[in-house]
Amino acid sequence: MLRSFFNTLSRSTALQRMAAGFGPARRIARRFTAGETFDDAAAVVEELNGRGIGAILNHLGEAVDSRDDALGAAADYGAMVERADAAGLDATLSVKPTHLGLGFGENFFHETMSALVETASRTGRAIEVDMEDSSLTDATLNVYLSLLDQSAAGLRIALQTCLFRTEGDLSRLVERGGRVRLVKGAYDEPADRAWQKKDDVDRSYARLVDACFGDGARAAGFNPAFGTHDHKMIDTICETAAARGARRDDFEFQMLLGVRRDLQQRLADDGYRVRVYVPFGSHWYPYFMRRMAERPANALFVARAMLGE
């Protein structure tokens, strides 16, 4: 119920305009975002790097209104690559397909991504491609696969464990030499495409973790990342990896800024690779609402903050 409620709010342009001018909402959103400028984000990344944790920089935005907006976003990301490289930040970059123009067709998205991948490869910086709702999965995968050979620095794509199709997609990407981040999924999906109950999604996640460390994946040198804050799932990942002979630096945990900092640090201190998703920019509202949808405890935190507790 709460998940659907917050996902609905995330699509409200009226509420987005209202929130943008509401000081308390902006301050609370800073729990999950680094600020509105690259310098804000760079300061957060430097602090993470100082604690032995990598970062994933994301300039917030999605579903742009025009091709010019998408080209502008791609140019901004290209500049981010250069600035992150100049600052010596341990940070990959994450992009949303509709922010770089997937809404205008696969060919257009391929063009904007190709230019960005070329810049990233020149500086040795990896790109992470986020996955949006399931209506865009095929198009996103098509473009990702077409860019794999161009990316010398590494190109990773997110797969959502809530979707029925993900086991097949993972197998195809392992065979193709792709890189994957497993996430549960933050979008409302129909019952004919996705598991609706948390327990079913968790079981799917565990099956996919097992596949990530299977004989075929190990033989292919597959290097997975796991986006989760669930300590039980993290235990499953660690136990499965150890049972299959994987080293702690053969895979990566990825977590969100503002969520389970204690767990992030413990894993890093224990020798696991950890990256924290560091979003920044003025378009923070949809992202913030999806964090509420993913975890009801976040909504409780916001309510308390609004009441001044």
Enumerate the β-bridge partners of residue 129: 95, 157
Phi, psi of 48 (to 5 degrees): -60, -45
Distance CA 208, CA 269 (A): 26
Per the annotation, the verdict on 202 as an active-site residue is: no
Give the closest residue to 277 by CA, choosing from 195, 170, 186, 161.
186
239 CB-contact burial (10 Å; exposed 0-12 / middle 13-18 / buried 19+): exposed
Give the closest residue to 175 by CA, choosing from 221, 111, 209, 136.
221
Distance CA 27, CA 5 (A): 22
Question: Which of these is catalytic: 125, 179, 181, 273?
Answer: 181
121-159 burial: b if 16+ Cβ within 10 Å, else e:
beeebbbbbbbbbbebbebbbebbbebbeebebbbbbbb
Distance CA 222, CA 166 (A): 16
Question: Which of these is catalytic: 130, 133, 169, 202?
Answer: 130
Per the annotation, the verdict on 181 as an active-site residue is: yes
Output DSSP code: residue 52. T
One-letter identity of residue 254: Q
Output DSSP code: residue 197. S
Which amino acids are annotated catalytic? 130, 181
